[in-house]
Amino acid sequence: MKLLLVIPCLRESARLPGFLPGLLGALQPLGSRVEVLTVDDGSGAGEQAWLRNYCEEMRREFASLRLPLLLPENAGKGGAVYAGWATAGAEVTHLAFVDADGAIPPREAIRLIHLAPGVPDSACYGIRTGADGTLVERTLGRKIAGLVFRGIVKTLFRFPLPDTQCGFKIVPAAAWHLCRPHLRENRFCFDVDLTWHLLRQGTPLLAVPIDWSERPGSRLRPGSVWGMVSSLWTLRQRLGSWRVPAVGSAACP
């Protein structure tokens, strides 16, 4: 397996240093099998200069880290992830992303990466359910927003997994290349758009409970929920009549 792990960044100079060194250190035993690419999502000249310098410094110790991809304009989180994935070479078999805030501990990212070769044709999604002894820590406001969002996703899309928005996913490169021409959502709901197309083409999903702890600096605001609801409805209308079967081959292993 050869994996490209993208970290989308939007003004992350305060949070990335608390996460990236630990992640790169945890990845070292995997050697060249995993490459890490930070993608700055149009944060401005100052932030991009910082990220470039920071990555150049980190590369002296961690060969798996590539120089950052600096987007000239904000493309949305999904847009940043997809821009990073598009740089993958033909040798890359799996594409992944992880949030820059450190809400997902490096050990959990590594755990899912180790699972991927055993299910090479499946997408592996981290999910925040607290199942299997995992620990999920979030504020009450974030918890309520998540419940509302998940309830709407379940009603509109009937996905066979309880959490589409957790910030760690691994997707077979071949499956993403099939989806890529059809993906239109780059912001709030890009995970939902991606999940729908993966299931539509028959890609199995492996949902894995992971530890997750909310970090300061979240850009999710109370008003964001209404924007997400509107985006979900628009996405549902655009995707058409096909829905994931309630029971059958699309269900998570």
pLDDT per residue as tens digits for the range 180-194: 999 999 998 999 999
pLDDT at 250 over 60: no
Instruction: Return the CATH number of 3-239, one of 3.90.550.10, 3.40.50.300, 3.30.420.480, 3.40.1160.10.
Output: 3.90.550.10
What mean pLDDT is reported for the chain?
Answer: 91
Res. 233: pLDDT tops 50: yes
Most confident listed range (3-17, 150-164, 228-242)? 3-17
pLDDT at 249 exceeding the cut of 60: no
What is the predicted pLDDT for the residue at 241?
A: 81
Torsional class of 130: left (φ above 0), alpha (ψ -120 to 50), beta (otherwise): left
| Residue spans per domain, the chain | 3-239
Distance of alpha carbon 227 from alpha carbon 131, whole angstroms: 29
Per-residue pLDDT tens digits for 236-248: 999 988 877 654 3
Strands (E), the chain: 3-9, 34-41, 69-71, 94-98, 123-127, 136-137, 168-172, 205-209, 212-213
Instruction: Specify the amino acid at residue 242.
Output: W
Phi then psi for 204, rounded to 5 degrees?
-65, 150
Angular region, 208: left φ>0, alpha ψ -120 to 50, beta rest? beta
pLDDT for 171 equals 98
Q: What is the rounded average pLDDT of the residues 109-133?
A: 95
Q: Is the pLDDT of residue 220 over 70?
A: no
DSSP state of 122: S
**Spatial contact of 193 and 185, defined as CB atoms under 8 Å apart:** yes
Count of C-beta atoms within a 10 Å radius of residue 194 = 24
Q: How many CB atoms lie within 10 A of CB 93?
A: 17
Structure confidence at residue 253 (pLDDT): 39
Q: Minimum mean pLDDT among 44-48, 183-187, 192-196, 228-232: which range?
A: 228-232
The pLDDT-based confidence of 235 (bands split at 50, 70, 90) is very high
What number of other Cβ atoms are within 10 A of residue 145's Cβ?
A: 18
